[in-house]
Amino acid sequence: MQIEAVKTAYRRYARIYDAVFGPVLQPGRRALLERLELKPGERVLEVGVGTGLSLPLYPRSVRITGIDVSREMLEKARERVARRRLENVDALVEMDAEHMSFPDATFDKVVAMYVVSVVARPGKLIEELHRVCKPRGEIFIVNHFRSDNRFIGAVEKALAGFSSHLGFHPDFDLREVLPDYQAGDVSRVNLFQKVVRLRNGVSHKL
Ligand X SMILES: C[S@@+](CC[C@H](N)C(=O)[O-])C[C@H]1O[C@@H](n2cnc3c(N)ncnc32)[C@H](O)[C@@H]1O
- The nearer residue to ligand X, 3 or 38, going by C-beta atoms, is 3
Whichever of 12 and 203 has its CB closer to ligand X, that residue is 12
Q: Which is nearer to ligand X, 6 or 110 (CB)?
A: 6
| CA 46 to centroid of chain Cα atoms | 7
Pairing, β 107-113 against β 133-144: parallel
Cα 105 to Cα 74, 102, 111, 198, distances in angstroms: 24, 9, 14, 15
The nearer residue to ligand X, 26 or 149, going by C-beta atoms, is: 26
Residues in the chain: 206
Secondary structure of residue 154 in the 3-state scheme: helix
Give residues in contact with ligand X (CB under 6 A): 3, 6, 10, 21, 25, 29, 47-50, 53-54, 67-70, 73, 96-98, 113-115, 118-119, 168
SS3 189: coil
132 and 104 in contact (C-beta within 8 Å)?
yes
Q: How far is the CB of 121 from ligand X (least distance, A)?
A: 9
State in angstroms the smallest separation of the CB of 127 from ligand X: 13
Residue whose C-beta lies closest to ligand X = 50
Shortest distance, position 204 Cβ to ligand X, whole Å: 19
* Residue 5 CB, nearest approach to ligand X (Å): 10
In three-state secondary structure terms, 17 is: helix
